Amino acid sequence: MEEVKEEKFGSRNSLLEPILIKNNIDFIANIWVVTCRQSINNNKDSRYLVIIEGTFSNVYENILKQINPNISVINVSFDEARKSISVFNIKTGKKGVLTYSKFKNRIIELTECKYLDSFALGSKESTPLSRFFRENMGKGFALTDIDFYLTEKRLFLEEKNFIKNDVGYIGIGQCISFKEIISDIFPDIPLLILCTNEADYYIGDFKNVDCRNSEIIKGWGKMVPVKVKKTTKSILINLLKN
C-alpha cells in the first residue's frame, strides 16, 4: 500500500448534501472502512472492518446486504469525555462498552493486523472515529469513507472540489483505497465521482480511473486524474433521482 496522504475528514462543506436533502434523495453517510496494510495482511476476507459511526437504524439494512459476507461490520458511538466507545457487532448481535485501548486491540484482532507506532493529532473538525484513528491506531491501517450512499439508486457518491482544466482529481492514497474497497467489500455497488467548482458540476465513473496514472500537483501532492463530464444542476438531480 502506498503512503496515504491524510485527509482532514469533515473539514469540507458539502455542496451536494443540501441538494440531496432538498430534492428528497435518500442517502446515508458515516460508513467507514478500516483496512490493514497489505504487507501485514493481504487476505481480502479478513483485512477489512466496516464501521458505521453514530446512531444505527434500519436505513442501513440496504447497504449491509451488499457487503462481502466474510467481513465484520460494527456500529460505534463515542463518549470522548470518558474515552469509551459503545460497540455493537451487527452480525453477531453482541454489544458492549470498551475503553480506547480495548477498542484498539479489538480492531487489530478483527483485521488480523499489527500496530505500527505512529501518531498524528486529530482535527477538531473531524468525527470522533477519525480522531481516534489518527491518534491511536498507528500506520498499519488506513481509514476510508465514501461520502454518500444513495439507498434507492444503490450507488456511492464521492464529492470532490478539485477541478483543473475540466479534469477532476483524487488523491493517490484514496484512489488505491477505493479500488480495494469496491473490489473486495462492495463489488456490486458503483461509485461516481462528483466534482464541484462554484456553480459547475462534473461527474465521472470511478471504474474508469487508473490509480497508476498519477501526477504531482503543487500544494496537493500525488494526484490521479478522473475523466469527468460537465453537467447542469438539474441534469445531476434527475440522474440521482431516476
Determine contact, residues 190/219, Cβ cutoff 8 Å.
Answer: no
Query: What pLDDT, in 10s, does the model give residues 113-127?
Result: 999 998 777 777 889
How much is the average pLDDT of 125-151? Answer: 93
Determine contact, residues 16/148, Cβ cutoff 8 Å.
Answer: yes
Count of CA atoms in the C-beta half-sphere (13 A) of 21: 6
Determine contact, residues 228/204, Cβ cutoff 8 Å.
Answer: yes
When mean pLDDT is compared across 11-20, 128-137, 149-158, the lowest value belongs to 11-20
Query: What pLDDT, in 10s, does the model give residues 163-184?
Result: 888 899 999 999 999 999 999 9
| β-pair type (155-160, 191-197) | parallel
Per-residue cell: 84: 469509551
Q: Which residue has the cell 463515542?
A: 78
Between 1 and 46, residue with greater pLDDT: 46
Determine contact, residues 154/189, Cβ cutoff 8 Å.
Answer: yes
104 vs 115: CA distance, rounded Å? 9
Q: Which residue has the cell 463518549?
A: 79
Quick count: other Cβ atoms within 10 Å of Cβ 51? 20
Query: What pLDDT, in 10s, does the model give residues 32-63?
Result: 999 999 999 999 999 999 999 998 888 888 88
Q: What single string gives the DSSP state of each residue in 151-211?
A: TTTTEEEEEE--EETTEEEEEHHHHHHHHHHHHHT-TT--EEEEEEETTEEEEEEGGG--T
According to the model, what pLDDT value does residue 9 have? Answer: 41
What is the spatial order of strands in the sheet that 215-217 belongs to?
163-164, 167-171, 221-226, 215-217
To 10 degrees, the CA torsion angle through 77, 83, 89, 94?
A: -120
Question: 0.85 cut: is pTM over it?
Answer: yes
According to the model, what pLDDT value does residue 167 have? Answer: 93
Query: Which band of pLDDT confidence, cut at 50, 70 and 90, is reported for residue 196?
Result: confident
Quick count: other Cβ atoms within 10 Å of Cβ 231? 16
